Chains A and B, each alone.
Chain A
Amino acid sequence: MNGVHDMGGIQNMGPVFYEKDEPVFHAPWEARAYALVRAVRAWRKWNADANRDGIERIPPAEYLRMSYYERWVAALVEQIVEHGLATRAEVESGRALQGSGTLKPVLMEDTVPAFVSQWTTLAARDLPVAPRFKNGQAVRARNIHPAGHTRLPRYARGKAGTIVRDHGVHVFPDTNARFQGEKPQHVYSVRFAARELWGDQASPHDSVHIDLWDDYLDHAGSHS
């Protein structure tokens, strides 16, 4: 989705503020939000790509207004409702409706560490999928604009680069996010000269390496 989350290259976001001795959480509610998301995710009702997709579906003005953990909570609420873990009325009232079900296992204080540590977002797959490209090969990122989740940033589309590392086989976020299959395929680190991306204003010495999936790439010279 060509959403506001795809921020690479936007220029009016102001300076970068560095907070010295920053605490892990800035308020108790942030720690609660973090814990809540990790606890619910441990039931594995949706995958990591669906989780990112949920955050990207926050309307742009809201997305920019919200802090990181506010986005987590907003996306969590929508996904809890979408996946039937609770109704919107239950979320708003903070109370379970009479007769609503209980998720198993019930999460208790002493079972939290074991239960939550099961949550991983492992996307690598040990499958004999052939790579379409090899190291050193010239490629071009496809000029595609998927309406759903994608990890192909807008600023790289249509640009020419070089494969510098094969990261092996991983699930394809675009389909996995919408539960349309894992479509496992090779992911590569692709080097783009900064000038290919940004023109002459960029330093001729700089480059950007982007992790890109097979389905995002064409052989150099072809246009899609």
Chain B
Amino acid sequence: MKHKVGPRNGARVVARAWVDLEYRERLLADGTSAVAEFGYGAAQGEYLVVVENQPKVHNLIVCTLCSCYPWPVLGLPPIWYKSSAYRSRAVIDPRGVLREFGLDLPGTRKFAFGTALLRSVIWSYRSARRAVRN
């Protein structure tokens, strides 16, 4: 877990989605299969849903009931994700939580996803838009 699994795996997936629009579509339609193309999967990544941030939509992922996290693409969950503070507040005060991370999003629509059986991954839309214009 320390050496083979971690957020670099997820970064590879996202980087490909930025430059390969067909892959981006597959990733959004069926995250599990698209991520498996890289050989990533198994424990805590059996069913993956990928959502995309957009100029006016910011996604925030939380598991309020335990600490579900997409291990194969992001590694084991960090302390903040597992903390009582994040698990309790992300759904009732998402903007306040993001401000504590230094991200202020006035006027942005926000969707907080409460995960359960599903492990969700967020990636940035903005770079994909650049890819579209290129």
A and B are interacting partners: yes
The reply on A210 being an interface residue by CB < 8 A is yes
Tell me if A5 and B117 are in contact (CB < 8 A): no
Residues of chain B having any CB pair with chain A under 8 Å:
1-2, 6, 42-44, 46-47, 49, 62, 64-67, 75-80, 82-95, 97, 100-101, 108-118
Residues from chain B with a CB closer than 8 A to the CB of A11 are 88-89, 92-93
- A210 and B68 alpha carbons, distance in the complex (Å): 13
Tell me if A8 and B75 are in contact (CB < 8 A): no
Residues from chain B with a CB closer than 8 A to the CB of A64 are 84
Interface residues of A in 51-103 (CB under 8 A from B): 52, 55, 64, 68
Residues from chain A with a CB closer than 8 A to the CB of B1 are 24, 34
- A16 and B115 alpha carbons, distance in the complex (Å): 19
Tell me if A124 and B46 are in contact (CB < 8 A): yes
Q: How large is the interface on A (under 10, 10 to 19, 20 to 34, 35 or more residues)?
A: 35 or more
Q: List 5 A-B contacts (CB under 8 A).
A: A9-B92, A24-B75, A123-B117, A206-B94, A207-B111
Residue with the highest number of chain B CB atoms closer than 10 Å, among A55, A119, A123, A208: A208
User: A208 and B111 in contact (CB under 8 A), knowing A7-B64, A124-B46, A151-B117?
Assistant: yes
Residues from chain A with a CB closer than 8 A to the CB of B64 are 6-8, 153, 155
- A34 and B76 alpha carbons, distance in the complex (Å): 10
Decide if the interface of chain B is mainly helix, strand, loop or mixed.
loop
Tell me if A9 and B91 are in contact (CB < 8 A): yes
The reply on A135 being an interface residue by CB < 8 A is no
User: A16 and B83 in contact (CB under 8 A), knowing A11-B92, A151-B117, A211-B114?
Assistant: yes
Residues of chain A having any CB pair with chain B under 8 Å:
5-11, 13-19, 22, 24-26, 31, 34, 38, 52, 55, 64, 68, 117, 119-124, 151, 153, 155-156, 165, 167, 170, 173, 187, 189, 191, 194, 197-198, 202-203, 205-212
Tell me if B113 and A22 are in contact (CB < 8 A): no
B88 in complex: contacting residue of A13, A122, A210, CB < 8 Å: A13
